[in-house]
Structures are given as structure tokens and as C-alpha cells.
Amino acid sequence: MNSGKEPKHIDWSAFIYGSIAGMVPWVLMYSAIFRIPAEYVDEIPWYVWFFLIEYFCLFFSFPANMILQYM
């Protein structure tokens, strides 16, 4: 879509729509976690929190990579 285009003429629509679509799983995951009563939050295993942090870092490294490639 943007192959061979100069940085001034990059079409960011795929990036924007992909970012919006990618937010859906995040909203669902965190809405499920925040609906848990406070007394049960301590019962969530450590590896669930680790997975969420890891997934967050890996997921948001893709847009950073895409922005750097387009620049």
C-alpha cells in the first residue's frame, strides 16, 4: 500500500483501522479484570498479570515498528 511512497505521501489508514481493531481485545480483557470484586483480585495468579504485561509490551511494539518503518 505504501511501498515506494515518500514519507510525505504515506497513507496511515491501515495503521489507524488496525489500531482501533487491536484495541477491542484490550478493552475486553481489562473490563473483565476490573469487573472482579476487589477481594478476589489478590487471587489472580502472578502469571496472568505477567501475561498481560508481556502481551501489552509485545502488542504495542508492533505500532512502534510500523511508525519507524514509515518514517
- Is 28 within a domain? no
Of 4, 10, 1, the closest CA to residue 70 belongs to 10
- Read off the pLDDT of residues 34-63 as tens digits, 9 standing for 90 and up: 888 888 888 888 998 898 889 888 888 888
Q: How far is CA 70 from the centre of its chain?
A: 19
Mean pLDDT across 4-32:
84
- Is 55 within a domain? yes
How confident is the model at residue 20, as a pLDDT? 87
The total of structural domains in the chain comes to 1
C-alpha cell at 38: 476487589
List of residues 6+ apart from 22 with CB closer than 8 A: 59
How confident is the model at residue 50, as a pLDDT? 92
C-alpha cell at 20: 482501533
- Is 56 within a domain? yes
- Which range marks the domain in which residue 57 is found? 43-71
